[in-house]
């Protein structure tokens, strides 16, 4: 397995003082996802929970909806001259009853650690029909409970403590119980790993939960949450306009700039208890 962190020499400058020392960095390596022997995607990620990453990615693409859709997950031999396994290629074997990915997914698509669904050209192309209805989920959460989630997520970021360079995604209940947390150089990878963990544990759809992310709420994160049946997404930074559009369409609670007791509710305000409107 690849390492989650690596050590690199760094020149440290503090005012006029200079010193050389090793620094701990978050590891970043490519990972290829294959359906059978057919390459589907390459993503830059922090090694670890790679099977969860592959499963979560396939849920977001509408290929997989449950653990029963997958027959096997395995690492393939890496592309080294001596045949050594790099643990950077994951092969997913689908159940024969599961339709293969649509040809439109076979875009030479390289997913960077920052952009997510960068190969998709338009809103219509990325609106994959979810197997689960978020709008029908009766989920509610109090504003007070929502306010404590960023600190609880931050407290669970063990690798961030060592590197300062990782995004995180945490899945919580409405009572604030942390169900799963994953860290990665890519914010969308962290979400995929959380969702993939739920697939393996046969927990989809993720009704009654809120997804807390450490960065902004981009369109692809809302899309992934909807595909997993998550009724609420909260972020410490801003959402994009497309993220708000999709959240409204799906009936999701979307919260941005969640910092302490301050937050902006962009969609699904009916799901937020204990917050009174003061009027325009």
Residues forming the active site: 115
Say how many C-beta atoms besides its own lie within 10 A of residue 248's C-beta. 14
- Which string of b and e fits 136-148 if b means at least 16 CB within 10 Å? ebebbbeeebbbe
d(CA 204, CA 186): 23
Q: Where are the alpha helices (DSSP H) in 105-148?
A: 123-126, 143-147
The one-character DSSP state at 103 is: G
244 with 224: CB under 8 angstroms? no
Q: Considering only CA atoms, which of 188, 173, 177, 174 is closest in space to residue 152? A: 177
């Amino acid at each position: 397995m690849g390492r989650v962190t690596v050590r690199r020499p760094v020149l440290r400058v503090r005012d006029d003082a200079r010193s050389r020392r090793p620094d701990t960095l978050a590891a970043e390596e490519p990972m290829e996802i294959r359906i059978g022997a057919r390459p589907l995607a390459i993503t830059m990620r922090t090694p670890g929970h790679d099977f969860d990453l592959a499963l979560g990615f396939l849920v977001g693409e509408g290929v997989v909806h449950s653990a029963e859709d997958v027959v096997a997950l395995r690492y393939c031999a890496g592309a080294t001259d001596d045949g050594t396994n790099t643990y950077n290629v994951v092969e997913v074997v689908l159940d024969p009853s599961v339709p293969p990915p649509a040809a439109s997914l076979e875009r030479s698509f390289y997913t960077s650690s920052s952009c997510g669904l960068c190969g998709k050209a338009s809103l219509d192309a990325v609106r994959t029909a979810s197997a689960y209805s978020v709008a029908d989920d009766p989920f509610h959460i109090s504003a007070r409970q929502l306010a404590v989630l960023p600190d609880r997520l931050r407290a669970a970021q063990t690798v961030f403590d060592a590197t300062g360079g990782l995004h995180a995604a945490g899945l919580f209940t409405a009572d604030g119980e942390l169900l799963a947390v994953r860290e990665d150089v890519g914010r969308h990878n962290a979400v995929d790993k959380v969702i993939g963990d739920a697939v393996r544990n046969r927990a989809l759809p993720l009704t009654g939960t809120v997804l807390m992310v450490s960065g902004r709420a981009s369109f692809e994160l809302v899309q992934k949450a909807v595909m997993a049946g998550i009724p609420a997404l909260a972020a410490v930074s801003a959402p994009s306009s497309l993220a708000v559009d999709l959240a409204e369409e799906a009936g999701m609670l979307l919260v941005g700039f969640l910092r302490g007791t301050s937050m902006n509710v962009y969609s699904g305000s009916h799901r937020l208890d204990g917050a009174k409107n003061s009027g325009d």
